[in-house]
A and B are shown apart, each in its own frame.
Chain A
Amino acid sequence: MRRERLSVLANEELGPYTLLRVRRGGLDPGRPGQFFMLEAPGRLLPRPMSLCLAPRGELAFLIDPIGPGTRALCSLESDDMLSVLGPLGNGFRLDVERPLLVGGGIGIAPLPYLSEALGRPPAVLGFRSAWHAEAAELVPNAQSCVEPTRVTELIPSGMDVLACGPEPMLEAVRRIAPEAQLAWEAPMACGYGACYGCAVEIDGELKRLCVEGPVLCAA
């Protein structure tokens, strides 16, 4: 577990989202699906963000500005500094034969890095609007749909599903693909197992998403 102060390279808009690119410093990018705690300027607590892309010397995070912390992150400018802790948690298992990436909304965040690691497998993505779907350009070989079409309608059978998205989407995915690897989300204060704030009930059992997740096997 390592924490460093990193400088911002750029903040790029993609539909309603922002791609925050920072210098990597001495941090390891980790495995796809792992996450980092990003200092949110002016806020008490950092925000958990899965790694979106790891170009040489960089870490990039896709952020949806939905609250004061994420808005502060999206307002950062080049050369601003922020503390970053990570990589944290359990990422996706990469030993899959027929990978299919499934993403919903801001849940596509870890898929570009995952796609690179798996040799650009097919992906299906669902978004609320065409504007939100502009972020689909980050994911290679992706087929996108916009509400009212649901991303679960695009999932063929016989694939090894790796998914990230809102809870109802993940619940629907695992009804179709019971063996799927699912990346869950919960509010988190620390990201390293200290606060017990991110415990979520999955199949009647409470799990700390930051330590036992965020990627959990559905079965």
Chain B
Amino acid sequence: MLLNASGCLDALTAPDVARSLDAFVTKTVTPLPRDGNTPVRIAETDVGMLNSIGLANPGIDRFVTRNLPQLEKLGLPLWVSVGGFETDDYAEICLRLDDHVAVSAIELNVSCPNVEAPVESTTQIVAAARIATRKPLWAKLSPAVPDIAEVARAAEAAGADGLSLVNTLRGLKLDTRTLRPALGPGHGGLSGPALKPIALAAVAACYAATGMPIVGMGGIQTGLDALEFIAAGARHVALGTVLFADPDAPARVRAELHAATEEHGWNSSDDAYAVAHAEPLSVGTTGRESSNE
């Protein structure tokens, strides 16, 4: 399945782009409305992009009454990204979404890099959300932790159904003329190609640790990038920054993924799932050999 990364598409402003995906993931919804951060909010670097949008969103009340009915009309499976500042925030929003048939999954944005105890906070948030809803729960994790596999195991033990890997990493860009931060709030989240090897390592580690379904994301620009994530253990892949540069990316990535899959002699990209974990794990082991074992 091909999705968008949360916060990288507005399906109501660009419905055609949303329809070119298999499911749409909303921007993170919080209990109260948020205007987001002071501009400047985005900056390009040589290896990626920094953003500091600040979870701008209408809040759960307006999301449910105003956005959700419009999103339903798109006829796409809908994943709602849920965020908060306290464990109760997540539980409250999950409870509010539980009755809405149009919501096919909930992604818990538990990746705030400020959290000092990622294992404990992930456990608390996922467990609270699990009590509040029967919907599939995907925990979106930050790679900025000492051991992401440990956080993944905690999410699984607390009742998550899958993992979204990974969120952005904190980065800083200075205006070279003034030597002051280029972004209004100072630092921002780094996305794009720089994130890809970090995300791949996270996907591989979490797959090995849990075997859970994973949505892989982080710097995917081509079908071959997507195939790498699938091989590392991602059941699904999501596009983020590439959507900004190319709204036609979903169709292109799909076609490239299909071509890359055929080149390996596979019928479908499902055949590539987790082949990187086949023994022996070494460069030069092709998927065909391992699938014939």
Chain A interface residues toward B at CB < 8 A: 1, 3, 39, 43-46, 68-69, 83, 85, 186-190, 192-201, 206, 211
Contacts and interface: CB of A to CB of B under 8 A. Distances in A.
A211 B13 contact: yes
Given A44-B192, A45-B49, A197-B51, A192 B39 contact: no
Given A1-B16, A44-B241, A189-B49, A194 B10 contact: yes
22 contacts: A1-B14, A3-B248, A44-B44, A45-B44, A45-B49, A46-B245, A68-B46, A187-B40, A187-B41, A187-B43, A190-B243, A192-B13, A192-B17, A193-B14, A194-B8, A194-B10, A194-B247, A195-B53, A196-B7, A196-B41, A197-B51, A201-B38
B253 to A, nearest CB: 15
Contacts of A194: 8-10, 13-14, 17, 243-244, 247
B191 to A, nearest CB: 9
B56 interface: yes
B77 interface: no
A200 B39 contact: yes
B53 A69 contact: no
A195 B51 contact: yes
Contacts of A198: 39, 41-42
B69 interface: no
B14 A187 contact: no
Given A3-B248, A44-B245, A190-B243, A197 B10 contact: no
B246 A3 contact: yes
Interface of B: 7-10, 13-14, 16-17, 27, 35-36, 38-44, 46, 48-49, 51, 53, 56, 192-193, 241, 243-248
Contacts of B9: 194
A69 to B, nearest CB: 7
B44 A197 contact: no
Contacts of B245: 39, 44-46, 189-190
Main secondary structure of the interface of B (DSSP, over half): loop
B36 A199 contact: yes
Contact of A186 (B39, B192, B246): B39
A83 B246 contact: yes
A170 B245 CA distance: 29
A3 B56 CA distance: 28
A189 B246 contact: no
Residue from A3, A43, A192, A197 with most neighbouring chain B CB atoms (10 Å): A197
Nearest to A85: B247
B210 to A, nearest CB: 31
A207 B9 CA distance: 17
B244 A196 contact: no
Nearest to A43: B44
A196 B193 contact: no
Residue from B8, B41, B46, B192 with most neighbouring chain A CB atoms (10 Å): B41
Given A44-B48, A193-B13, A201-B38, 8 more contacts: A3-B247, A44-B241, A189-B245, A190-B245, A192-B247, A194-B8, A195-B7, A198-B42
Nearest to A188: B42
Residue from B44, B243, B248 with most neighbouring chain A CB atoms (10 Å): B44
